[in-house]
Structure 1
């Protein structure tokens, strides 16, 4: 009897511990409820849609889940990981991301990768005009005026490697919030090591060695090729510099910038 009791307690510990100790039991319950509602919606026959004149439903056997094609990286602009987790679990905020990386490298996976997080807002990158619907959002605990920790970067690189392999995300499609929302967002900040990511295969970097820029080279055209929305050229330049020339805070393109853009445009083309 004693052995049976100890075995029962052990099972309770194994299966209950992750949830029993979580301060987010209530919001986790709401998450599961919302997920079930979406699952119910998917299971329904598409009877009420644009094909109202069809005599009956014919379900194809050839389909899969839509998969993410971009990764958008953010900094939280808050003072702690706990503050961000709370923000992302309050319904009134209507903001979220798939992952949050804390200063000690802990990674919280807050939303299934196939579901749509509210992280990019009004955004555009190349021809993509709704990044929330096609991307995974990663928030890094950082207030925007400090370097990112080594633990955070190690966890981020491991996560990006898994996401790239799992979903076949192209190298060019690892971008920042500032890239897709010029003038509206500046994250991740100038402290973010984009070159390190590019060297690992997440995004591209430049090499201006021996670069000769043609006289007819159009810098704004190059920004558009890379992916920037150039409707407001000054904010596009600002976002480009946050990502690629963080030491320069101006909105003026120099001859060095022209060389950088010429090289990048060839890689992103």
Structure 2
């Protein structure tokens, strides 16, 4: 009798769950439809490209040596919104034209919103090193935070687990874990000066520096050139210095667009790691 009651309760619970409203059922259906469309594109056979004066091959020849393109960067953002639910809504409205692969809520919950191999719209107009289309080679991670307060410990702990998974899954170099503000200086400031970059670096995600008191700067040290070697787009030097400080010297993440000698030593150390 007890087993029967337990089974009956389980059936009732399952029925209630299956009938419960699913707020993103409609957009999940659209996701599957769009993924199916891209799958059909991948399955399409190559077609000959006619060139003037050149013979057209009788058939196509498929190579046997290929796999999926993989992401090589991870870009970290803060949502600048009030809650994860608000962000989920934003990322499921076509008119917003923004998205990310993952959203990490304050309580540490990780929600994946897009397959890692697909291109999210999270980076916008951005540049890092010679890469001018960051969306095509990166994974975007959004942290539920308004940019004005510290990040929750459980949120950072979950982020570290996610980053470790991605790093090993795609063999992403430590230097390629960066922030939105790094790739879009002057336009974006996330994930804010509150973000614990040093803590991440200690786990192998992103660059950091040690004791720089004994560092000797070269006589011809050029801060702008060093920032470019690290990866920054230096067309707006003032904006880049502010972005650099926000990431590596958050205690001085002011509007100052100059570097003192100690800060130049930090930059020099990071430049050496990037070369």
Instruction: Assess if the C-alpha contact under 8 Å between 1:113 and 1:136 holds in 2.
Output: yes
1:266 aligns with 2:269: no
The alpha-carbon distance between structure 1 residues 49 and 122, as it changes in their structure 2 partners (threshold 3 A), is farther
Aligned residue for 1:137, secondary structure, equals strand
**Structure 1 residues 18 and 130: CA distance shift in structure 2, 3 A:** farther
- 1:43 and 2:43 equivalent? yes
Per-residue displacement from partner, 1:49-95 (whole Å, max 9, x unpaired)? 57793331111111000000000000000011100000000011010
- 1:92 partner SS: helix
Aligned to 1:56: 59
Match of 2:239 in 1: 235
**Offset, 1:173:** 0.1
Closer, same or farther: CA 18–193 of 1 in aligned 2, 3 Å: farther
Moved over 4 A (4+): 16-21, 48-52
Whether 2:51 is the aligned partner of 1:77: answer no
Q: 8 Å contact 2:70–2:137 — kept in the other structure?
A: yes
Structure-2 change in CA distance of 1:33 and 1:19 (3 Å): farther
Aligned residue runs from structure 1 range 16-165, under 5 A: 17=17, 22-47=22-47, 53-165=56-168
Unaligned runs of 5+ in 1: none
Is this contact kept in 2: 1:101–1:107, CA < 8 A? yes
Is 1:219 the equivalent of 2:219? no
Go from structure 1 to structure 2 and tell me whether the alpha carbon gap of 1:20 and 1:117 turns closer, same or farther (over 3 Å shift). Answer: farther
Whether contact under 8 Å (1:19, 1:25) holds in the other structure is no
Matched length: 264
For the pair shown, the structure with the greater C-alpha radius of gyration is 2
Alpha-carbon contact 2:48-2:57 (below 8 Å) kept: no
Tell me the TM-score normalized by structure 2: 0.90
Residues 176/28 of structure 1: CA separation in 2 closer, same or farther (3 Å cut): same
Gaps (5+ residues) in structure 2? Answer: none
Output one character per residue of 1:114-133: Cα deviation in whole Å (capped at 9) or x when no partner. 00000000110011110000
- What value does the CA root-mean-square deviation take over the aligned residues? 2.3
Q: Hey, what's the Cα distance between the residues in 2 that align with 1:230 and 1:196?
A: 27
